[in-house]
Structure 1
Amino acid sequence: MSLFSNTFTSLEHSLNYAAEKNRAISSNIANVDTPGYKTKNVVFKDMLYQEVSTLTAKKTDMRHFGFQPFNKVPFSTITNSNTTYNHNGNNVDVDKEMSELAKNQIYYQALADRMSGKFNRLESVIKGGN
C-alpha cells in the first residue's frame, strides 16, 4: 500500500501493536489467579523508533540537523518479574489491567476507524468521486 501513502503502513503497524497489546492484557487477566504468573506488557518505544526511522528531514540550510537513524526493532512483549502483589507470587492488578484493556480497545477502534476512512476516500477516488 506504500504506493499511495505511508499512512496505511503506519496504521497497519499501529493496529498490529494494539492487537499484540490486547493479547498481553487478556493473558494477564486470564492468569489473575495463577500462582507465580508475572504480567506481560508490550513495549511501544521500539515501535516508535521504527516509525521515526522512516522519516526524512528536509533541510533548507546546511547547518540544520537531520533525524538520527534508529535501529528498526519491532515492538516486543516483556515480562514484569520485579514485583509481587499477591501471596501466591502473582503480580496481576486486575483493576489496572481492565483499565489498560479499555484504553487499548478505544485506541484500536480509533485506528480501525481511521483506516476505514482512508479506504473509503481511496474507493471514492477510484469510483470518480461518487
Structure 2
Amino acid sequence: MIDSVTATALESALTGLAARQRAIADNIANVSTPGFRAQRVAFEDALADSIRDGSGRVDPSMERSLEPTRLDGNNVNLDTETISNVDTVLRFQFASRAMDGQFQSVRSVLRTS
C-alpha cells in the first residue's frame, strides 16, 4: 500500500511543493537584491506524465524566471510571490491530508488483522 502509485505521487508532490516553498522564501528574501532573478519550481506536468506511466515518481526542476526585470535587474514581484505562496501552502495541506489518508488506511488494515 505504501509503495502504491498514489503514495509515490503524493510523496513527489510534497517534495515539489516543499521545493517551491523554499524558492518562494528565497525570492522574497532577495526582493531588493540587485540582479537577482526569481526562481520557479515546476513538477506538475512531469508528475501527471509519471502517473500516467504508472510510476508517480518525479523530481522537481528549478529554473530562473524569464519575467521582465526592474532597472536594478531584479525580477521578483512580491505580489506574485505572495499569491504563489498561498497557493503552495493550500496544495501542500491538501497533499498532506491525502497522504495521511493513505496511512490511515494502512493503520486500519493492520488493526483488523
- Which TM bucket (shorter chain)? 0.7 to 0.9
Q: Out of 75, 92, 112, which is 1:108 matched to? A: 92
Cα 1:73/1:126, change in 2 over 3 Å: closer
TM-score scaled by structure 1? 0.76
Q: Which residue of 1 aligns with 2:54?
A: 54
TM-score scaled by structure 2? 0.86
- Correspondence list, 1:3-18, <5 A: 5-18=4-17
Are residues 1:90 and 2:89 paired? no
Q: Could you tell me how far 1:82 is from its partner in structure 2?
A: 5.1
Task: Name the one with the larger helix percent.
Answer: 2
Q: Distance in 2 between matches of 1:100 and 1:7?
A: 25
Aligned length: 110
Stretches of structure 1 lacking an aligned partner (at least 5 in a row): 56-71
Structure showing greater Rg: 1
Deviations 1:45-80 (A, max 9, x none): 33333333227xxxxxxxxxxxxxxxx863200002
Q: Distance in 2 between matches of 1:121 and 1:49?
A: 26
Structure with more relative contact order (C-alpha pairs < 8 Å, separation 6 or more): 2
Runs of 4+ with >4 A deviation? none
Q: Which residue of 2 aligns with 1:38?
A: 37
Q: Which residue of 1 aligns with 2:63?
A: 78
Q: Distance in 2 between matches of 1:7 and 1:49?
A: 13
Stretches of structure 2 lacking an aligned partner (at least 5 in a row): none
Q: Distance in 2 between matches of 1:110 and 1:123?
A: 20
Determine what percentage of the aligned residue pairs are the same residue: 32
